[in-house]
Homo-oligomer: A and B are copies of this chain.
Amino acid sequence: MDSSQLLKGVLDLAVLAVLDGRDSYGYDVVRRLREAGLDDVGDASVYGTLRRLFKAGALTSYVVASDEGPHRKYYGLNDVGRSLLSDSARTWTSFAATMDGLLKEVGAG
C-alpha cells in the first residue's frame, strides 16, 4: 500500500509534534518520524516541510556546528508554531473520528 498520500496535510502536524518540547534538525526529525512509525517518509519532504513552516513564521531556526559531520540547522516551535500545533491536532482528531465513523459501517450494511 502506498501511504504517501495519507501524509498530505498531516506531515506538518507530525513535524510540529516531533518538535514540541525539544528543538531538532532535519536529519534527526526524519529519523524520529521513521522511528515513530512513519517508515517511508522522504527526507526531502521533511526538509521541505521545515522550510515551509519556518517561512510561515511557525518556527525559529539557528545553526549549530557538529563534531560528527556538517553543521546542523536546528528548528524550534515559537508561539505561532505551538498554536498551530494545537489547532492542527484538534482538526486531525476530529477528522480521524469522522473517518472512523464512516468505516464503522463498512461490512455491516
Contacts and interface: CB of A to CB of B under 8 A. Distances in A.
Contacts of A17: 102-103, 105-106
Interface residues of A, number: 42
Contact of A6 (B20, B21, B91): B91
Count of chain copies: 2
Interface in A49-88: 85, 87-88
A85 B5 CA distance: 16
6 contacts: A17-B106, A21-B109, A36-B102, A89-B103, A92-B103, A96-B100
Interface of A: 1, 3-10, 13-14, 17-18, 20-22, 33, 36-38, 85, 87-93, 95-103, 105-109
